[in-house]
């Protein structure tokens, strides 16, 4: 099969979150079954620096102005890069500028991503003119299927929702700039509450919709930011499914992780984790106490991630229990950043906070923590709890989306032979505090903790399983 993915991020070239991790792993796993898998991305400034040598595939007039579609091989993977410097040659984040405000021209920046993906699928590359499946990810690539439809190109399309909370909404006046026919702007199309929705275009025009966990697929067909009606319909047609993400073993593997103080496998988890924990406590200037339960978090700081009620619960637990420690790597809402920094100032020996984005430190936190916190209000899949499982850092998560599908909560009494972490239900501080208490009870029993950790580290979240599910989905379409 010839498969083209369209997305706005790919680790390690450009990353703001889990979407990049998926695009940095899934296409590679898919190639293992012999398929020709390629990815199309904007040629952002940072990618231009990392991949300076490319071949020209096509020059075109596009809805985003004049652009060149380039091609390069990256770690054996074919990449199409959309070269339009006036849109993508900018410093830093792919979506917004130094003032944290979305770029005013995002409508054409990502309109062009969908357009160029459809153009390649329609044969713009003379050396790759039979694409079987165009697989677009999140709203940024949402228009791809709309263009295929508008041009009547018989290529099958799949759209994956990584986060339905981001919908790519733009004023209707932009429709003509996007070179889409007026008739697509309607309820049975890409119109959503008086605006253009790139996400809805993906949901409406794609042949199949997937999301990144079975539970999230259920949840969004009930409450999906206004898309639940459409999703319920598509589900009843067998056009919506949930497939769990995996872990890229080449990047996240405690036995071969160069960022760790000491690499370790399941057989040596106890010593390995102890050494990494001490190193982490030292890094954050925390009390080097092996008996303290060190909870870590690596996250965007937003509403979604439950960081607000986490703060509240931490304030209570830190005051109550001298054995609690907490270390955070995160960035996002300035208020939350400030609040966590204040918490660290109040408990300098027990709380460490690093505001920023740091890939290496993320590995050290996940390697050195005892517990990884993911108290999300909603979570399509979630990756850090999977990294936690792999590293024997027990996840403490809210029962939602992919978290519900990947963590088996210890019930507080059993022998711990089939549990991998701690799970709570209500999105509030009280429920989270009680989950902390359950975790602390397990922590007090070292033999139990060892069993939980063993069980966590034995879980298999390899990408090949997900690649198989996508293959079955593609085959059903062709």
Residues that bind ligand ADP (CB under 6 A): 17-19, 21, 298-300, 329-331, 357-359, 362, 381-384
Please name the helix (run of DSSP H) or strand (run of DSSP E) that holds residue 278, with its range, or none.
Answer: helix 269-284
Question: Among 394, 407, 466, which residue's Cα sits nearest to residue 135?
Answer: 466
SS3 breakdown of the chain: % helix, strand, coil, rounded to 5? Answer: 40, 20, 35
Q: Is 207 in the site for ligand GLC (CB under 6 A)?
A: no
Task: Report the nearest approach of ligand ADP to the CB of residue 468 (Å).
Answer: 21
Task: Report the nearest approach of ligand ADP to the CB of residue 396 (Å).
Answer: 14
Task: Report the nearest approach of ligand ADP to the CB of residue 331 (Å).
Answer: 5
Instruction: Say how many CA atoms lie within 13 Å of 28 toward its Cβ.
Output: 19
Q: Among 163, 299, 331, 385, which residue interacts with ligand GLC (rule: CB under 6 A)?
A: 163
Question: Among 311, 309, 317, which residue's Cα sits nearest to residue 293?
Answer: 317
Q: Is 383 in the site for ligand GLC (CB under 6 A)?
A: yes
Q: Which does 212 bind (CB under 5 to 8 A by kind): ligand ADP, ligand GLC, none?
A: ligand GLC
Q: Is 19 in the site for ligand GLC (CB under 6 A)?
A: yes
Task: Report the nearest approach of ligand GLC to the CB of residue 224 (Å).
Answer: 14
Task: Report the nearest approach of ligand GLC to the CB of residue 162 (Å).
Answer: 3
Site for ligand GLC in 240-299 (CB under 6 A): 245
Q: Among 156, 162, 208, 354, which residue interacts with ligand GLC (rule: CB under 6 A)?
A: 162
Task: Report the nearest approach of ligand GLC to the CB of residue 258 (Å).
Answer: 24
By beta-carbon proximity to ligand ADP, the closer residue of 74 and 357 is 357
Q: Is 18 in the site for ligand GLC (CB under 6 A)?
A: yes
| Four-residue CA torsion sign, 298, 109, 378, 235 | negative
Instruction: Say how many CA atoms lie within 13 Å of 365 toward its Cβ.
Output: 27
Q: Is 382 in the site for ligand GLC (CB under 6 A)?
A: yes
Please give the full DSSP string across 212-242, using - where no structure is assigned. Answer: SSHHHHHHHTTSSTT-HHHHHHHHHTT-EEE
Task: Report the nearest approach of ligand ADP to the CB of residue 232 (Å).
Answer: 24
* Positions of E strands within 256-365: 293-301, 324-332, 351-355
- Distance from CA of residue 287 to its chain's centroid? 33
**What is the C-alpha to C-alpha distance for residues 121 and 132, in angstroms, rounded to an integer?**
8
Q: How many CB atoms lie within 10 A of CB 304?
A: 16
Q: Is 212 in the site for ligand GLC (CB under 6 A)?
A: yes
By beta-carbon proximity to ligand GLC, the closer residue of 228 and 303 is 303
477 phi, psi to nearest 5 deg: -85, -35
CB-based closest residue to ligand GLC: 18
By beta-carbon proximity to ligand ADP, the closer residue of 20 and 77 is 20
């Amino acid at each position: 099969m010839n498969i083209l993915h369209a997305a706005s991020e790919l680790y390690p070239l450009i990353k703001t979150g889990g979407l990049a991790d998926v695009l940095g792993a899934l296409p590679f796993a898919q190639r293992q079954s012999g398929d020709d898998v390629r990815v199309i991305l904007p040629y952002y400034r940072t990618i231009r620096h990392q991949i300076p040598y490319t071949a020209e595939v096509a020059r075109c007039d596009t809805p985003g102005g004049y652009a060149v579609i380039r091609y390069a091989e990256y770690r054996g993977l074919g990449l199409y890069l959309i070269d339009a410097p006036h849109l993508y040659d900018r410093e830093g984040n792919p979506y917004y500028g130094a003032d944290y405000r979305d770029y005013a021209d995002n409508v054409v920046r990502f309109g062009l991503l969908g357009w160029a993906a459809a153009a390649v699928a329609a044969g713009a590359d003379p050396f790759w003119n039979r694409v079987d499946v165009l697989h677009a990810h999140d709203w940024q690539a949402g228009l791809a299927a709309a263009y295929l439809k508008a041009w009547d190109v018989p290529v099958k399309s799949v759209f994956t929702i990584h986060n339905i909370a981001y919908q790519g909404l733009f004023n209707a006046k932009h429709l003509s700039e996007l070179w889409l026919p007026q008739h697509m702007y309607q309820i049975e199309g890409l119109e959503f509450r008086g605006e253009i929705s790139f996400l809805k275009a993906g949901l409406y025009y794609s042949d199949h919709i997937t999301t990144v966990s079975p539970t999230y697929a259920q949840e969004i067909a009930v409450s999906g930011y206004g898309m639940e009606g459409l999703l319920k319909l598509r589900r009843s047609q067998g056009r919506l499914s949930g497939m769990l993400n995996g872990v890229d073993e080449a990047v996240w593997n405690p036995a071969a992780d160069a960022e760790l103080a000491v690499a370790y496998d399941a057989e040596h988890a106890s010593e390995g984790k102890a050494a990494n924990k001490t190193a982490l406590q030292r890094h954050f200037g925390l009390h080097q106490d092996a008996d303290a339960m060190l909870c870590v978090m690596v996250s965007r700081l937003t509403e979604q991630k439950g960081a607000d009620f986490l703060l509240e619960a931490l304030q209570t637990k830190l005051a109550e229990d001298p054995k609690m420690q907490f270390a955070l790597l995160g960035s996002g809402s300035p208020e939350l950043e400030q609040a966590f920094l204040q918490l660290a100032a109040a408990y300098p020996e027990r709380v460490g906070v690093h505001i920023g984005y740091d890939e290496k430190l993320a590995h050290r936190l996940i390697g050195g923590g005892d517990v990884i916190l993911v108290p999300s209000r909603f979570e399509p899949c979630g990756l850090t709890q999977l990294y936690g499982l792999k590293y024997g850092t027990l996840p403490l998560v809210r029962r939602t989306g992919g978290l519900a599908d990947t963590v088996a909560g210890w019930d507080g009494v059993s022998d711990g032979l089939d549990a991998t972490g701690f799970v709570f239900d209500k999105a509030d501080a009280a429920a989270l505090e009680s989950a902390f208490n359950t975790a602390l009870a397990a922590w007090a029993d070292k033999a139990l903790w060892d069993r939980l950790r063993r069980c966590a580290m034995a879980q298999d979240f390899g990408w090949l399983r997900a690649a198989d599910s996508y293959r079955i989905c593609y085959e059903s379409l062709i």
